[in-house]
Amino acid sequence: MSESTSDGTREEKRRRKAMLIRAGIYIFATHLFAGFVLLLFALGGRK
């Protein structure tokens, strides 16, 4: 039974790490998109 518990713990840690990596990628992509939109506004506001 201890083997299945350690496998479950290992699986949980792997899933948590994957979730954190995915969240980091989403946050980075969102900031990149927001920066692009701000750039469009800055360039569009020029006369």
**pLDDT tier for residue 2 given thresholds of 50, 70 and 90:** low
pTM: 0.71
C-beta atoms surrounding 4 within 10 Å: 8
Distance from C-alpha of 46 to C-alpha of 39, rounded to nearest angstrom: 11
pLDDT tens digits along 5-45: 788 899 999 999 999 999 999 999 999 999 999 999 999 99
Q: Where are the alpha helices (DSSP H) in the chain?
A: 2-44
Distance from C-alpha of 37 to C-alpha of 26, rounded to nearest angstrom: 16
Per-residue model confidence (pLDDT) at position 46: 86
